[in-house]
Structure 1
Amino acid sequence: MSMKPLEFDRRYGELDQVISAYAGMPADDEPDRPSDALQAYLRHTWHSRPWALSVAEQQIREYARHPPGRLRLRLGEFYPVPDVGLPESEIQDWLFQLADHLEQSIDDGAVPPHSAPRTHWEWHARFPELGQFLGGWFSQDMPDEFPDHDTAVRDYTDTTDRNLVARLAGELRELLTLGLDEADYAVAVAELGMEVDPPAPYSPSGWLELVSDRLVAFRPDYGPPTDG
């Protein structure tokens, strides 16, 4: 019988966050150097949920000490580590190495400096609503669903909870304050799911600025007033 969500989170929730950071990335951690994937996890988590680092270290070390057998994995009673490109015989040592890196980072108080995200996982962890917006409204199907970019933006604001619209506005401002080169903004929107070009004559950052301004001015339509 598979675990209930609360039990899963208590035992493996933060372990899963760490492993998710390795999606599409090599698990090439060394004793003296965490991989790019783990550095992305450390960078994001130190600045967003620093308390979670010790939870991750504990969950990973406990899992490595007591790896599950095939039966319990099949029953869904343990977290199955996804394929990270390592032989099964090396997974346990790799997990201990991750736990050691996390422990050292905590003990040293080694808070990474703020910077632009450097992995696909980190882009989406830092800008989750922007990823929903760009990936959901500006995929390659956008020209078949909307006549232009402005209509797609209006559809987002008309159909999305206003709290999420406000969150998107904040994420856009945070992205724009990074002051990236234009080529890096092109990479950013692609990583976050945008599969169409910005409308002419806008560059990626210019269009993001335009959308940000419109979201700031956005007022939800609550319908006609009612008598109180």
Structure 2
Amino acid sequence: MKPLEFDRRYGELDQVIAAYVGLSADDTPDRPSKALTAYLRHTWHTRPWALSVAEQQLRTYAQNPPGRLRQRLGEFYPVPDIGLPEGEIQQWLLLVADHVKQSIEEGRVPPPVRLPVTPWEWRARFPELHQFLGGWFSQDMPDEFDDHDAAVRDYAASAAPTVVARVVGEVRELLVLGLEEVDYAVAVAELGMEVDPPAPYAPSGWLAVMAERLAGPRAEYVQEGE
């Protein structure tokens, strides 16, 4: 299926399902799950118009499950394993759609939280930082770069300036929260960092230094690393 057609049919449905990865689909008629609450909280804040799209796509998919022909042609959305028996997924999708509809019609907006609650919410709130840490500081980093600074230089030289600026902004947003150091360790891990910060820095200290370097003049920073 072409990307445009996929987005029209399943794009926001996919966002909702992604919010459940690694969590329980334990929604009840009286209470949305932690995963759905995180999706609603973030989406109300950033893309409130997408909620009606999510409700429609969830309901349409549940009411019109793919038949054999669509499955054979690959023109359907394969719901990932969310810990529910296959026979219960249809009713669960309708329940989630009902919660989204109720949130819209009654203005039920989950209250803001200081820290993201779920892995999906971490990545949705800090998307560019997630791409940076997950792409340049995975467990393969020591095999690809001499040290952390070399990885930062490579990112600064290869990423578009506007994207680098977004990373700097997201780091500063994270730092201004004034978290305990253990919470910053959790944050960078949730955002994809699989190696420890370089000595002698704690996670927050390294984030601050890294942001300052990325915020400096691009040409000067790249030249210093050469």
TM-score normalized by the length of structure 2: 0.91
Residue 56 of structure 1 corresponds to 54
Q: Is the 8 A contact 1:15 1:60 kept in 2?
A: yes
Is the counterpart of residue 44 in structure 1 residue 42 in structure 2?
yes
1:199 to 1:97, Cα distance in 2 relative to 1, 3 A: same
Residue of structure 2 in register with 1:167 after alignment: 166
- Please show how residues 62-211 of structure 1 align to structure 2 within 5 Å: 62-115=60-113, 116-211=115-210
Greater percentage in helix: 2
Question: Which amino acid is 1:91 matched to?
Answer: I
In structure 2, C-alpha distance between the alignment counterparts of 1:145 and 1:62, rounded to whole Å? 46
Tell me the equivalent position of 1:226. Answer: none
Distance 1:180 1:57 in 2: 35
Q: Which residue of 2 aligns with 1:10?
A: 8
Shift of 1:69: 1.8
How far did 1:112 drift?
2.4
CA pair 106-18 structure 1, distance change in 2 beyond 3 A: same
Q: Which secondary structure does the structure 2 equivalent of 1:112 belong to?
A: coil
Identity across the alignment (%): 73
Alpha carbons of 1:17 and 1:149: their partners in 2 closer, same or farther (altered >3 Å)? Answer: same
Deviations 1:85-133 (A, max 9, x none): 1111111110110001101111222222332111111111221211121
What is the rounded CA distance, in whole Å, between the counterparts of 2:51 and 2:208 in structure 1? Answer: 34
Per-residue deviation at 1:148? 2.1
CA-CA distance at 1:169 after TM superposition: 0.8
Q: 5+ residue gaps in structure 2?
A: none
Matches within 5 A, 1:206-221: 206-220=205-219
> What is the match of residue 30 of structure 1?
28
Q: Deviations over 1:153-212 (max 9, x none)?
A: 111101111111111111111111222221111011011111111112211111111111
CA distance in 2, matches of 1:109, 1:218: 45
C-alpha contact 2:29 2:95 (8 A) present in aligned 1: yes
2:120 and 2:112 mapped to 1: Cα distance? 16
SS at structure 2 position matched to 1:26:
coil
**Cα contact 2:172–2:211 (8 A) shared by 1:** yes
* C-alpha separation in 2, matches of 1:112 and 1:177: 22
Paired with 1:5 and 1:145, the residues of 2 have a C-alpha distance of 32
Alignment: residue pair count: 220
Question: Which amino acid in structure 1 is aligned with residue 170 of structure 2?
Answer: E
Query: Which moves more between the two structures, 45-54 or 138-147?
Result: 138-147
SS at match of 2:218: coil
Contact 2:156 2:218 (8 Å CA) reproduced: no
Q: 1:215 to 1:84 in 2, by over 3 A?
A: same
**Contact preservation (8 Å) 1:68, 1:78:** yes
RMSD in angstroms over aligned alpha carbons? 1.7
Answer yes or no: is the 8 Å Cα contact 1:162–1:220 preserved in 2. no
Q: Give, in angstroms, the shift of residue 144 of structure 1.
A: 2.5
TM-score, structure 1 normalization: 0.90
1:78 maps to a residue whose letter is F
Distance 1:88 1:135 in 2: 32
Letter in 1 for 2:95: Q
- Aligned mates of 2:72, 2:83 — CA distance in 1: 21
Q: Mind listing any 5+ residue stretches in structure 1 that lack a counterpart? A: 224-228
Structure 1 residues 116-125 or 90-99, which shifts more?
116-125
